[in-house]
Structure 1
Amino acid sequence: MKIRINPVAAFDTLFIANQLQKKNGSFSIPELHIFGYLACLLWLYREQPIADWEYNFVGTELGAPFSQDMDTAANDFLEVSLFYRSHERLQITDLGIQKLINYEKFTLNKKRTEYLYAACSSTLALSVGMVCTALSNEPELKRSNATPASRLLLEELARSQLYDQFSILHTAFYGRSDDLRLPAVTWLSALYSSSMSELA
C-alpha cells in the first residue's frame, strides 16, 4: 500500500530542493532535513505554534534532524521523477519545479515560504557544511547527540533554552528589519563559532 504523503512536508521538500539547487547545483536528502528544521526553528523564532508546522523532527544519534514526512516525500519524488540522482547527489527536475509552482499557489504554503526562503538563504553567508555544523550545536540537537537513541525534537519542556537564545536575538534586532535572514545568519554564526571553540 502506498504511504500517504504529508502535503505540507511535500511542499517544503520541493521548495528547499529548488533553493539549494539554485545555490549549489544539487542537494542531498540530509540537507533537506537540515534546512527544513532550520525553517521550523525560524517559525518558532517568530513565536508561531509548533503544532502549526504540521510535521515533526527527531534528532538522530549523529546530532542531525530527521523528518519522516520529508523523507517519505523525497523518496516518492525520486520514484515519480520529480527528483533524480546525479552521482551521490540529487537534482530537481523540470517536472518537480512545475509541481512546486503549483503548490506555491496554496495560501498555507505561501505563509511558509518566508521561513523556508530565509533558512535556505543562510547559505549566502555560510556554506551548507557550516550551517550543518552550526545546527549540531543548537540546544535540541546537541542534547540529541548526547542520547544514544532518536528522540522527538522541540517538545515543550525542551524548548526553553532555545527560546532564551531567541530572546537575545529579538532584543538585538528590535526595531530593525523584519527580514528573517538577519537573525538566522547571526544565530547560525554564533552557533558555528561555539562549535569551533569546543573543537579547539
Structure 2
Amino acid sequence: MQGPALAEPEADLVLPDPGLPDVDGREVCRTLTGPSATPVIVGTARGDEFDRVLLLEIGADDYEVKPFGFRELVARIRAVLRRGARVPAANGRQALGPLTVDRRGRQVLLPGQPVELTNKELELLAEEPGTVRRREELIARVWDENWWSSTKALDVHVASLRKKLGDPRWTAALRGVGYRLDSPS
C-alpha cells in the first residue's frame, strides 16, 4: 500500500484516521511507524479498550477518540513531540527533562544527583523513555517470561520507583495497558 500522502517527505507528526474510506487506517499506522521515527497520534471514532490497545500495539504513539477537543489534541501533540525529542546520546545517556538515565554506567541522575535504584527498577527505566510498556512485557523483561506469581510485584517496584524519583508522575499508568516513563513537567 502506497498512497500519495505516504510518498511525501517525512512529517513532524501524522494524525491518521483508521476509518479511512479507501484504505485500512491501521495499515497506514503500521506503515508510518515501521522504518520511520515520525510520531503518530490516531484520531479514531472507535473508543473501546480493544481498539485503543491495538492502535498502541501497532505503533501509534497516542490516540484521541472522536469527538475530541482542539486544546486536548494540541496538548497531546506537544506531549508526543516532547517524547520524540528524547534520543539516546552516543554515550548511552538518555535525558528526559531533568532525569538522566545512564545505561552504560547503570545509574540515574535527577538534577545531577544520583538516585539509588535496584537493578529491576533501573530495567523499568532503561529502555525507551516515553514509550508505553505493557505489563506483560515489563514482567517478561525484568523478571522472566515464565513468571508465575502475582503481577503485583510490578506494581510494588513501580511504587518504589515513583517514591525514589520524588514524583509519582514520572511513571504514568495506562489502565489496562501498562506504564510509561514520562516527565512530570
Higher normalized helix content (fraction of residues): 1
Relative to the length of structure 1, the TM-score reads: 0.26
Relative to the length of structure 2, the TM-score reads: 0.27
Higher RCO, 1 vs 2 (CA within 8 Å, ≥6 residues apart): 1
Higher normalized strand content (fraction of residues): 2
Of structures 1 and 2, the larger Rg is shown by 2
